[in-house]
Structure 1
């Protein structure tokens, strides 16, 4: 969509598979995208996670805004265009025998004066567990006081209950750009759109892409979602 005024923001939402694939390709993908913010799923969350997070950010000319181990691998990276005012991390209730999941949040202002809330999450692979996690995430998103930009690996498609919970009241960037047919997983056998970028309805979606290149196919098992937005400036 075009034709609206606002402050531009380029967002990359990316499940980087724990950096277990071609790291040089991963770095090249993020650099080539030239994002203002990166919402990372499956980022560093174990031994020396702070150092690993900082090394990833430095390699792509960004800084760590928040997340990491306290958010269970959800990591927020920002460029110098974006000033981070506050951050918080969330862990979803643990289901016995399952992996912990969570989310990261940052209250931000971008050069040009637009404030927004950045959020990233990664829901369970268990369909019985996801709806409750989505409800917890949605409650936290509902407390935001500035326009939301939410990137998530939901581990289910748009017809799923957890997806519907998170998406309610927000704009699905893929739908807004008429590109909902673009699949995000897996790079080896694209068959699902389980990675989403949702925004406040006051935010204009200018462009949306699922970046499918030889590099992205080597960098992770998910394709990155790259979105250009226009953020409203409060009067």
Structure 2
């Protein structure tokens, strides 16, 4: 991967670098967190466990600034899902979603932003599903309905709290490309930093989008920054016709 957030030599498509990152409610080394994201030089970051409580707007803006990005959508309205972009990406419309609440459980949701790079439009989406396997299928179905209804190419990321063999993963990924599989990197584990055993963080893209490269950043700095490793994906969006 290049250091510029662009794919070198990208004929026939529009390059986009995506980071998906569960930031563990910023409970770890925040300086390391910012450094890891800045080093990746992303165009967009899809965040799970972003600020969602007291002064959440200011806290989300501060997190974005630490990454060198701006807030596109999310925070409290999407229950901790946050979409961040650089100034190369224009945001036309946003919305948030909350999944039905199971009594006694944490609420979950998703964030969506209709974006444009040059003349190319796409839907950016992020979610974080429950740790309870009984809740995840309905949440996955709700997320999938929004993705399936989009008339734009979809770039979606989520902490699914289950691996590729799980039913929620299958629901969200149906008809989409698993970026790790496309790049032959499905063996790269994302959780936990202390004892990596599972791939529970996924990036799914529309089949019209080309996966150029995929990486899971496992460095000493990343292990201090969160309990999840960040996923970095280089994409080629279809050029506007």
What is the TM-score of this pair, normalised by structure 1? 0.98
Aligned: 1:165 with 2:171: yes
Deviations 1:117-156, CA, capped at 9 Å, x for gaps = 0000000000011001000110011111110000100000
- Is the CA contact 1:106–1:119 (under 8 Å) kept in the aligned structure 2? yes
Q: Distance in 2 between matches of 1:95 and 1:9?
A: 36
Aligned: 1:103 with 2:110: yes
- Is the CA contact 2:12–2:239 (under 8 Å) kept in the aligned structure 1? no
Return the offset for 1:113. 1.7
Equivalent residue for 1:198, pick from 190, 197, 204: 204
Aligned residue number for residue 23 of structure 1: 30
Equivalent residue for 1:141, pick from 141, 147, 154: 147
Q: Aligned ranges for residues 89-128 of structure 1 at < 5 Å?
A: 89-110=96-117, 112-128=118-134
Gaps of 5+ in 2: 1-8
Return the offset for 1:193. 0.2
Q: Distance in 2 between matches of 1:89 and 1:163?
A: 21
Q: Distance in 2 between matches of 1:155 and 1:36?
A: 25
Q: Distance in 1 between matches of 2:146 and 2:67?
A: 29
- Is the CA contact 1:13–1:151 (under 8 Å) kept in the aligned structure 2? yes
Q: Aligned ranges for residues 60-75 of structure 1 at < 5 Å?
A: 60-75=67-82
Q: Distance in 1 between matches of 2:110 and 2:155?
A: 13
- Is the CA contact 1:65–1:87 (under 8 Å) kept in the aligned structure 2? yes
Gaps of 5+ in 1: none
Return the offset for 1:3. 7.8
- Is the CA contact 1:115–1:233 (under 8 Å) kept in the aligned structure 2? no
Q: Distance in 2 between matches of 1:33 and 1:85?
A: 25
Aligned residue number for residue 226 of structure 2: 220
Aligned-pair Cα RMSD in Å: 1.0
Is the alpha carbon distance of 1:11 and 1:3 closer, same or farther for their aligned partners in structure 2, counting shifts above 3 Å?
closer
